[in-house]
Amino acid sequence: MRMLIFTSKDALQKEIGDLKPLEEGIQNYKRWYKNYVIEFVYFDEKNRFGIKPCKKNPKAIRDFINKAEDRWGKIKTILIIGGDSVAPFFRLPNPCDDDASVLSDNPYASSDDDFLIPERSIARIPENRSAEFIIKQLNKSFTKFNKSFGMSSAVWKEASKNVYKQIGDIRELKISPPVVTENFKAEWLQKKDFLYFNLHGSSLSENWYGQENSNYPVALRPFNVISASGFVASEACYGAYIINKSDRNSLALKFLHKDGITGFCGSTTIACGPPIPPSSEADLLVKYLFEYLKQGLPAGEAFKNAKIDFARKMIRRHGFLDDDDQKTPSSLYYTAIPY
């Protein structure tokens, strides 16, 4: 099995400075992770595939990946190093009327124009302006505790229970309100396999919010995340929006900054979900993701399979993919090593 790790040398150097520690970290990762034949390339530099370097343009980078596959063989997994300023997200047309466009990595995972059905597993490690942060993600390992944590806005508690029951006891699901940032206990996030959040979010705020009627209390702030472990799945709108953000003002990056967090799945845009079962949209995709992770699938494969199952289920249910169904698998992406 082949894994392609890629980034921009010029753009990444501007963000983190000296690239030598990162290059050494990737070489160590290649030696340790023997499940794959791994190649690391800068798409804007001379490379082992003999492909002409390309500019920092999503379509050009995607062409670079497809050419690499033509010359090297079938690529099973892609790992992007860096955030949007290093290896940009695609700006896909939004089928809904909420966001101007959808920030997505889906096209990188597809060799053709059917972006909703990925062929490759794909992950992205943001740089968080630090080589140390990237290397930390590469060095993480999974420890099993057989415990989970979940938190939901009060208005979505029934829908959230239907998702959370895949990984935990629904009686232990925290509801906001009454649970808010002031009474949130940091130890709830410790020694867990999965962390699930179905809260509100915003591209302009680092916080996630609960809701009861017209009351939107702050449920979680970055400073609540003192120590944490497990795989995080968030349905918060913009829960994975990381452009011009760091671990100081992004819960996604704050979680990933913790040694025990093995991955993060979230939305780059407004996320959709029902107030009550049956699960659909982001609820359904995260539900499938948890099911595959519990089966022991590598995170990248679990995420890819969850997207495929989501599309199949919605087509069986409606006969087609409506606007929200098309947006959901495009806007959700995950960041982790594809262990």
Strand order in the sheet with 260-267: 174-176, 148-153, 194-198, 229-234, 260-267, 332-335
Global confidence as pTM: 0.92
The predicted pLDDT at position 303 comes to: 87
Distance set, CA 20 to CA 12, 83, 94, 132, 209 (Å): 12, 19, 39, 11, 40
pLDDT band at 338, cuts 50/70/90?
A: low
Q: Please compute the mean of the pLDDT values over residues 234-250 and round it to a whole number.
A: 93
pLDDT of residue 333 exceeding 80, the answer is no
Least confident of 108-112, 176-180, 251-255: 108-112
Q: Give the Cβ contact number of residue 315 at 10 Å.
A: 12
CA distances (Å), 161 to each of 64, 164, 260, 286, in order? 43, 5, 25, 12
Pairing state between β 2-7 and 77-81: parallel
Quote the CA–CA distance of 308 and 84 in Å, as a whole number.
25
pLDDT at position 325 is 47
Looking at residue 212, its pLDDT comes to 96
Structure tokens at 48: 């082992």
* Mean pLDDT in residue range 132-157: 94
Residue 278 has what pLDDT?
Answer: 83
pLDDT over threshold 80, residue 326: no
Q: What are the CA-CA distances from residue 27 to residues 5, 20, 32, 48, 135 (Å)?
A: 11, 11, 9, 15, 11
The mean per-residue pLDDT over the stretch 164-186 comes to 98
Domains and CATH numbers, the chain: 2-138 (3.40.50.10390), 148-335 (3.40.50.1460)
CA atoms of 192 and 167, how far apart (whole Å): 10
Report the percent of the chain where pLDDT is more than 90: 70
Nearest to 197 by CA among 223, 171, 217, 219: 219
From 38-47, 68-77, 225-234, 281-290, the region with the lowest mean pLDDT: 281-290
d(CA 48, CA 32): 21
Q: What is the pLDDT of residues 88-104, one digit of tens each?
A: 999 887 655 555 678 88
Mean pLDDT, all residues of the chain: 89
Question: Across residues 158-180, what is the average pLDDT?
Answer: 97
Rg (CA), the chain: 19
The tokens for 136 are 């930390």
Distance, CA of 167 to chain centre? 18
What pLDDT score does 281 carry? 74
Report the C-alpha gap between 138 and 125 in whole angstroms: 9
**Is residue 233 over pLDDT 50?**
yes
- Of 320 and 17, the structure prediction assigns the larger pLDDT to 17
As a whole-number percent, the residues of the chain with pLDDT over 70 amount to 90
* Residue pair 124/106 in contact by the 8 Å Cβ criterion: no
